Structure 1
């Protein structure tokens, strides 16, 4: 059950994977107990699935349960599992906007992984990448770039150019370059990631849809609105067909498409994509401080301003961001 669930999860079939993960976890709790290593693996797997579905509070409960149990029961012999749990919870806290809490955990995981499994182990590279993303979120772009480039260089060398981990690093460095205003360099990386994801994962895998969205947003920033709208519409339609309403990638696709249509002067079409109901969905599914929720609020405020609603909502949204 668990192995098949993992396969379905990797294929982006999240609902089917969730059924198997829950079945495996329930059985292991009954037969092995709550703190057996196999049970803790099931808890982590289900937490990861919920995380990918954007259900951050539910995922956080499972991640904390797994981490607490692993710290107590596994000790030094189970350091890798404990570090995985530390890293998982750190990632989730980062997505919730709790950057200081996340930083403590992500630095703990990276320091321990460098010391125990070396600089080029896949687990260490994940920690390097994650701390780089945290520094980016904190606006420390030069420090972030050092780590994100280290992760990408090592993943290319050890995993190859088309491994999912390498493609994540390509995409992440592209995002940093975009934040630094280096749009042409970012575009090269975004296109590489998208081409490889289309070829290896298909057009409607969540990672591919994320790459389509990212390249669309970059084209928007470059003022190439027609090209941007084509890609953002593809991302939106793919997300609507394959992902739940409250899933982060789907919500971001709505924000991106709405924003480019606003820039095109298609205000009512944009408002239909990001209305009050969408904001309620994002707050309920992700929480009020998550970056995706704040992004939607900012897009909604821009649209209300464009429709004659005044600047106050936009100023409030930007302050929250």
Structure 2
């Protein structure tokens, strides 16, 4: 049921100021994820709010197929009188599928519905209300719980600033599904913030193992290596992130800074120049989006507007999102430009 970022790095150029893209949080929505967000320092994680993957329906065996596998049942169990409908219903009522109390098979549809409600509340900035929905969802989950619910609870606790609880929920998700790439990534970000770098690296590497083509995770892993002072390894992962997603501005900024640390000024200028071009395009795109959102809001405010109440509300929400996206795009551009001018100044000084 998400997600997408500035990072700190150590080194002679004060990576703690310049490194971008750190903390890319992913979502269980494996379309996951995850839009990138930007901050001037370690970036806000990006939980594109997760939507759970709906459970596949259980397909019962074709009862007619039993005939071919069992052969002549009467030859195995002997002749017997047919049971009445009442007898059969009584037997079914007496059956406990696993011999335990509770709801061993759960109600997957109810779990999914409650997770969607919780996700909407997270989007509205109500993590406490979202957690209540997720807790309710667990009542309808299978006995061992639900990895996606635990994952969503981790995002909600992170939004509340209760990091230890968020860590615990991601660990619960991984206990159920060790190959949950998004949970490994988000847990890695929290451990990185706690300066538990080695454990963070382990989880980022696990995330890449199960989802090798996610550029955000490569960028996250590069960031932790940079924080540990291993700029050479950091550059490898930043470069991988750029190869996977050439428009990934944060990764290009980080790669440019890593090259600068390595003394590869030509390569650094090239990467940071590309970051400027891409971020300029992002600014232009978000300006158009913002103008369109403003027009929609103006139309909604006019007397006799044909828009429904829901459409008017949606227009207001779109304007807020467009304004935020425009601020982020401008911040990315200004940062890219500053870094590019910095490397140009260093190159001139080296001549």
Q: TM-score, normalising length from structure 2?
A: 0.47
Find the partner of 2:169 among 109, 117, 124: 109
Do 1:239 and 1:249's aligned partners in 2 also have CA atoms closer than 8 Å?
no
- Cα distance in structure 2, aligned partners of 1:83 and 1:7: 16
Q: CA deviation at 1:189?
A: 0.9
Do 1:236 and 1:254's aligned partners in 2 also have CA atoms closer than 8 Å?
yes
Report Cα offsets for 1:29-73 as digits up to 9, x if no partner. Answer: xxxxxx96454343455567x5xxxxxxx4x32x43222122135
Report Cα offsets for 1:279-298 as digits up to 9, x if no partner. Answer: xxxxxxxxxxxxxxxxxxxx
Report Cα offsets for 1:101-158 as digits up to 9, x if no partner. Answer: 22x222221332243x14x231xx43333232223223x2xx3233333442x34443
Q: What corresponds to 1:128 in structure 2?
A: 184
Do 2:249 and 2:275's aligned partners in 1 also have CA atoms closer than 8 Å?
no
Q: What corresponds to 2:151 in structure 1?
A: 84
Find the partner of 2:333 among 244, 251, 254: 254
SS of residue paired to 2:151 = helix
RCO higher in structure (CA 8 A, sep ≥6): 2
Q: What corresponds to 2:276 in structure 1?
A: 233
Counterparts in 2 of 1:207-218, with a 5 A limit? 208-218=248-258
Q: CA deviation at 1:251?
A: 5.2
Q: Greater helix percent: which structure? A: 1
* Count of aligned pairs between the two proteins: 204
Q: What corresponds to 1:177 in structure 2?
A: 225
Q: CA deviation at 1:177?
A: 1.3
Distance 1:156 1:136, change over 3 A: closer
Counterparts in 2 of 1:137-152, with a 5 A limit? 137-138=193-194, 140=195, 143-152=196-205
- Cα distance in structure 2, aligned partners of 1:246 and 1:265: 30
Q: TM-score, normalising length from structure 1?
A: 0.51
CA radius of gyration, larger in: 2
- Give runs of ≥4 in structure 1 deviating > 6 Å: 6-12
- Cα distance in structure 1, aligned partners of 2:253 and 2:217: 16
SS of residue paired to 1:121 = coil
SS of residue paired to 1:227 = helix
**Structure 2: gaps of 5 or more residues:** 1-28, 36-47, 52-108, 287-321, 346-351
Q: What corresponds to 1:194 in structure 2?
A: 242
CA RMSD in angstroms, aligned pairs only = 3.8
Distance 1:188 1:249, change over 3 A: farther
Distance 1:156 1:84, change over 3 A: closer
